[in-house]
Amino acid sequence: MKFKEIRDGIKNSIIPAVPVPFNEDGSINDKSQKSYVKWMDQQPINCVALWAHTGRGLFLSKEQREKVFNTWREGLSEDKLILCGVGAKNIEGIDDEAYIDNAVDMAIHAKKLGADILLPYAPTLFRDRKDQDEMIIKYHKRIAEVGLPMVLFFLYEEAGGITYSQDVLRELFKIENVIGIKMATLDSVMTYQDVSNLIMEEAPDVSLITGEDRMFGYTIMRGAVGALVGLGSIYTKLQYEMMDAYYTDKYKEFIEKSIMVDNLAEHTFYKPMEGYIERVLYILAKKGIIDMEAANDPYGPLVTEEEKRRIDGFIEKLGDM
């Protein structure tokens, strides 16, 4: 597919950033992984996001990433696209070129496996440096050379991101491969609004994609033509229906479902924020989509018994959706 065809293929759709079902020892639970893929393939999606933060992409070994990718590609319908998060760990002592090379290598691996779209992680190595803007642009241009369509990722700094100035965004939007930008600026509504305005006024060919789990409905109203969210890994149909209601002018239904989605987010995305991954795995297990023994995130905090009781009550209240 050409870049425009890919962009049009994910327009007005939800792209779930999916977690990996892990056993307690940190190994991937193959049975639950396949069960989850089968369930997700039945949801109203055009694309799924692998190796993103929800899928612990930078923590997985190359072999694990390949295993995850192949399971999804084999289990998904052929017409569904796969987006892969690509980047590099910000480890002590790593130099600029090695950091970028590692990100490019991950992108090349994704392409070799058959990925359709890349999502470059925020290049945090360059944060607060004098050459920050220059290096952000260099990083993305190097990944673009791999040749796949790219969705940029603007993540607020408290969550491990880096700030892209308006001038940096203008340069990134000029890269031919860039078909969209995922915005996750939970601590700054104004930043989201400013980027939305920039796209509408100067870069209409770039799709604004919300990554805002905790203000999902508002960001759709504020210009997003799609969503790439970890929240989409659970109750996917509900979130698709909320978005579709807005895009088809069914505003009463949109408001009703937006309230439900906000409530879902408030039961999963809260401090400690890293805990959301095991919370969504727990919900998948409670819904019978994966085994409870696979509801583990070895890289984040455990779900407490109090949290489980709170989530259980919400699931019961939400009903069979």
Instruction: Write the DSSP string, 111-164.
Output: HHHT-SEEEEPP-GGGTT-TTHHHHHHHHHHHHHTT-S-EEEEEE-GGGT--PP
Tens of pLDDT, residue by residue, the chain (321 residues): 689 999 999 999 999 999 999 999 999 999 999 999 999 999 999 999 999 999 999 999 999 999 999 999 999 999 999 999 999 999 999 999 999 999 999 999 999 999 999 999 999 999 999 999 999 999 999 999 999 999 999 998 887 899 999 999 999 999 999 999 999 987 789 999 999 999 999 999 999 999 999 999 999 999 999 999 999 999 999 999 999 999 999 999 999 999 999 999 999 999 999 999 999 999 999 999 999 999 999 999 999 999 999 999 999 999 887
Q: How far apart are the first and last CA of the chain?
A: 34
Dihedral, CA atoms, 272, 22, 214, 265, nearest 10 degrees?
Answer: -100
* Buried/exposed 141-156: b ≥16 CB within 10 Å, e otherwise: ebbbebebbbbbbbbb
- Residue 129: predicted pLDDT: 95
- Residue 1: predicted pLDDT: 61
The token pair at 231 is 């929240």
The token pair at 306 is 């109090």
Q: How many residues does the chain have?
A: 321
Cα–Cα distance, 271 to 91 (Å, whole number)? 25
Q: Give just the sign of the alpha carbon dihedral 298, 181, 161, 137.
A: positive
Query: DSSP H helical segments within 145-275, as ranges?
Result: 166-173, 189-202, 216-221, 236-247, 251-266
Amino acid letter for position 103:
A
Distance of CA 47 to the CA centre of its chain: 11
Amino acid letter for position 207:
S
Cα–Cα distance, 188 to 245 (Å, whole number)? 26
Residue 225, φ and ψ in degrees, nearest 5: -110, 25
Cα–Cα distance, 184 to 274 (Å, whole number)? 15
